[in-house]
Amino acid sequence: MNCALRFETHSDEETRDAGRQIAKWLPEHAVVVLAGDLGAGKTTLTQGIAEGRGAARAEDVSSPTFTLIHEYGEPVRVYHVDLYRLETAEQARRLGLEDLFDQAALVMIEWGDKFPELLPADVFRIVLVSTGDEDRVIEVTAPKRRNGRALALSPRAGAG
Ligand code: ADP
Ligand code: MG
């Protein structure tokens, strides 16, 4: 997959800002896997993305590690899922993960690579790597289309 967007951040607020920008580039309806170690900034980035979508204030977005799914917006515009604590694909299925993929919303999935068999083909991927105490590299890749080329990301009409 081609990397479509790349950020280097040096604080959690910079990561939220990256999220606000990513929110403008992602399609209205998309499934996004967030990959990266514990503390890499997956939840922090999602705070910015949810705010960028106008679904919630960043400070109101908390980790779904124990609750598994959080919803933001009325109607829901962002689902925030964390599969960290799940052990089997069946548990994720029972959570209703696949039902979320049909929703006209952004579905952000921390540890989403754990059960790749559950993911739709056209998944976006955001990889976060910690390169220092407060340094992070964030790379966004778009799904490949059937012709093998990456989906072109473009700012959504009216985004801003
Ligand atoms: P994850 O969801 O990947 O486990 P969190 O977003 O919950 O990670 O936590 C990231 C932690 O790293 C927070 O404590 C945050 O303050 C800290 N941090 C330090 N620098 C950064 C940065 N550049 N971007 C994101 N988080 C950072
Ligand atoms: Mg998290």
> Tens digits of per-residue pLDDT, 50-61?
999 999 999 999
SS3 128: strand
What mean pLDDT, rounded, does the chain reach? 91
Q: Sorting pLDDT into bands at 50, 70 and 90, what band is 158? A: very low
pTM for the model: 0.92
CA distance 87 to 97: 14
The alpha-carbon radius of gyration of the chain (Å, integer) is: 15
Beta-carbon count within 10 A of 67 CB: 11
The response to whether residue 134 sits with its C-beta less than 6 Å from ligand 1 reads yes
Q: Whose CA is nearest to atom 18 of ligand 1?
A: 12
The response to whether residue 46 sits with its C-beta less than 6 Å from ligand 1 reads no
**Secondary structure of 36-80 as H, E, C letters:** CCCCCCHHHHHHHHHHHCCCCCHHHCCCCCCCCEEEECCCCCEEE
End-to-end CA distance of the chain: 27
18 near 46, Cβ under 8 Å? Answer: no
How many A from CA of 63 to the centre of ligand 2? Answer: 5
